[in-house]
Structure 1
Amino acid sequence: MSADRTPVTVVPLDAVVDPENEETVEAELRALQAGAGVVVVHVRTRVVTPRALHLLLRARQRAAAEGGILCVAAPDPAARRIFHLTGLSRVLRVAATVPGAVRRNAGAGCGHPPAATP
């Protein structure tokens, strides 16, 4: 079944992931991710910590092990830049919007707004 016909579960990530909340955030993500075919994690923070990156990579591995797909929507340009700088934007299929993440998963463009040129 193609991604455009597979139900999409959108999981908001509103917290900056740190040592104090990492387990809670991961447990919530795991519960929402269970049984979902396509999961879009909607990162709504400007700051994406190394703990958040590792959490998302673990979630991607869980999704793949269950035959699912995980991708990321990060509306804030600073957050997307972190994914790009770490080389994880392709691995995690990062896009600017939830529809863009779904399109990127389907092999289309990622929905990023055009970059401003200095």
Structure 2
Amino acid sequence: MNETEGTLAISAHPSPGGPVVLRLAGELDHHTGASLGRAVEDLLHGPGSGAGIVADLSRLYYCDSTGITAIITAHDRARAAGSAFCVAAPSPALAQLFRMTGLDQVLTFHPSVQDAVDALSSH
């Protein structure tokens, strides 16, 4: 799956025997937030969805309140479907935003995609 909408590119990369890495590149905002929801729904209804989803934010350079809501919604949908969802490699600015909003208490964050894949693969 590859989807580009507005200034957000989303691509899914399955890990052998582990979670799917969902790479987000660009801006996650009111114009693009719905595309994250669609991508997560597609993954949750596809093969291997139980292995979990890693949201790779290493190439996400902008996230507004709608983007934050899209991430929370993706997390909640994955959990409701019995799948794990975590966030990996946020920029220092995004990591600070998540701490300031208290999302670091709700979502599981990993410093790198590999750390996240390893953590979800060990469960």
Same fold judged by TM-score > 0.5?
yes
Residue ranges of structure 2 left out of the alignment (5+ in a row): 1-16
Structure 2 counterpart of 1:39, one-letter code? I
Aligned residues: 103
Which of 1 and 2 has greater Rg? 1
Looking at structure 2, the residues matched to 60 and 75 of structure 1 have their Cα atoms a distance apart, in angstroms, of 16
54, 63, 66: which one pairs with 1:51? Answer: 66
Q: 2: CA distance between counterparts of 1:42 and 1:16? A: 13
Classify 1:25/1:68 alpha carbon distance in 2 versus 1 (closer, same or farther; 3 Å): closer
CA RMSD of aligned residues (A): 2.4
The reply to whether residue 99 of structure 1 matches residue 110 of structure 2 is no
2:19–2:54 Cα contact (<8 Å) kept:
yes
Consecutive unaligned residues of structure 1, counting only runs of 5 or more, are 1-5, 108-118
Match of residue 42 from structure 1: 56
Greater share of residues in strand: 2
Match of 1:23 among 27, 34, 54: 34
Identical residues among aligned pairs (%): 28
- Give the superposition deviation at 1:29: 3.0
Q: Does 1:14 align with 2:25?
A: yes
Cα 1:58–1:73 shift into 2, 3 Å: same
Instruction: Confirm or deny: 8 A CA contact 1:18 1:51 kept in the other structure.
Output: yes
Aligned-residue offset at 1:73: 0.6
Offset of residue 51 of structure 1: 1.2
C-alpha displacement at 1:63, in angstroms? 1.0
Taking structure 2 as the reference length, the TM-score comes to 0.69
Question: Paired residue for 2:103?
Answer: 88
Partner of 2:79: 64
Tell me the TM-score normalized by structure 1: 0.72
